[in-house]
Structure 1
Amino acid sequence: MIKSFFTSTTYGHTKELIQYADRVYDEKEFNEDVILQTAAPLASKLSMGVVDERTVRAAAGITMLGAIIVFCVAYFYGAFLPITLFSTYSFIDFFLRVFVGVQYSPSLYIGRFIIRNLLGQQPDWVSAIPKRFAWSIGIILTGTVTLLFWSGNNGLTSQLICLVCVLFTWMESTLGYCAGCHIYKLLKLEPERCQGDSCSRIL
């Protein structure tokens, strides 16, 4: 059951996609592009749950910025209420992503608005299932630190977990490296449904 939860290709935005030259396009976008149409015989269709990598990285950057601010407030001024509230928000945000749906995450919503509306960038679709695994790790980390902060434990353990969270979000937003996704690959989890070898190529 747990493996099925982390391998279901219906998680995320279910879209009809076209993969060509290591890039994934929305089928409508691909069909409307005259230049891409010449490569249609070399392209392959995908049907799976995806997320926009640019939106995910933007959301990670937003989370990182907020975490740094509240961490500095706690460290330099001894005010732990902001970091307690922010860790609670982060836990809820990750919980919504993993168990309810990516479209209900406030951070992803803001990230999508920035990427699509303010910057005018096109989505960069990637498989959603490794992200779900990574965000589940986020639930564990933020859930743990939230419990510690609300119980009044503001010591080294809580601060170290916060620093780990900041490090992970920094790697995601700045380097485009998803630590949780890397762990997912090391565990050799495979999607329960895959069209040809497309899932392995899109991960």
Structure 2
Amino acid sequence: MRTDELKQYHTFFTSPLLAMGQTIPGESDLRINETATRARAGLLNMLSAVTMVILLVRPEWDPVIYVGPYVIFDMVMAAVFGLTPLSPTGVLGTAMTMKSKPVWKPIKPKRFAWSLGAAMGITCLAFRLLELPDIWLFSVLGICFMLTWLEAVLGFCVGCWMHAKMFGCEVCKID
């Protein structure tokens, strides 16, 4: 295959299996598929919206006790191992975009953003376990909703933007 054909090649699993990203010909570092990342963000956006609705309509169900650990696990697995095979939402996002043309982006900004996402999940769970007023919980959930919406709909990753500003990422092209 030619180099331009390989750049369009999309696989479900990385090689080696638990690599953070894909090796793309002509690129010095590993890359991650932005299309799958945006699909994952859309799924997480829906999860945050449903969580807020349940908290408003049926607060006795307390979804944060279940959603918090899931989001923390998903974010940590994505930050450490990439979208597949250990991040459940990453697997779904990758499966949803298998027929789409991949858009390859650097992994370091995404890893940074997902680490911040894990910290926000920990914050939500801590607020619930410490029984802080719901306004604090809704504040963090609202921020999660906005950040995942920006990524999924507009393709703007705030964590990636922060990474570029803080660490001067030369290969980061923030659109």
**Is the pair's TM-score, using the shorter chain for normalization, greater than 0.5?**
yes
In the alignment, which residue of structure 1 is the partner of 2:75?
94
In the alignment, which residue of structure 1 is the partner of 2:10?
none
101-110 or 126-135, larger mean C-alpha shift:
101-110
1:139-194 deviations in Å (ceiling 9; x for gaps): 1111111122233335211110011001100000000000001111111344xxxx
In the alignment, which residue of structure 2 is the partner of 1:176?
155
Q: Check conservation: 1:49, 1:129, Cα contact below 8 A.
A: no
SS in structure 2 of the partner of residue 51 of structure 1:
strand
Opposite residue 67 of structure 1, the aligned amino acid is S
Q: C-alpha distance in 2, partners of 1:15/1:168?
A: 28
- The structure number with the bigger radius of gyration is 1
**RMSD of aligned Cα (Å):** 1.9
Q: C-alpha distance in 2, partners of 1:16/1:145?
A: 37
Q: Check conservation: 2:34, 2:102, Cα contact below 8 A.
A: yes
TM-score (norm: length of structure 2): 0.80
Structure 1 pair 99/13, CA: closer, same or farther in 2 (3 Å)?
closer
Runs of 4+ in 1 over 6 A off after TM superposition: none
Q: 2:44 aligns with which of 21, 42, 63?
A: 63
In the alignment, which residue of structure 1 is the partner of 2:143?
164
Residue 14 of structure 1: how far off its partner (Å):
3.4
Q: How many residues align?
A: 155
- Which has the larger share of strand? 1
Opposite residue 109 of structure 1, the aligned amino acid is V
TM-score (norm: length of structure 1): 0.70
In the alignment, which residue of structure 2 is the partner of 1:128?
107
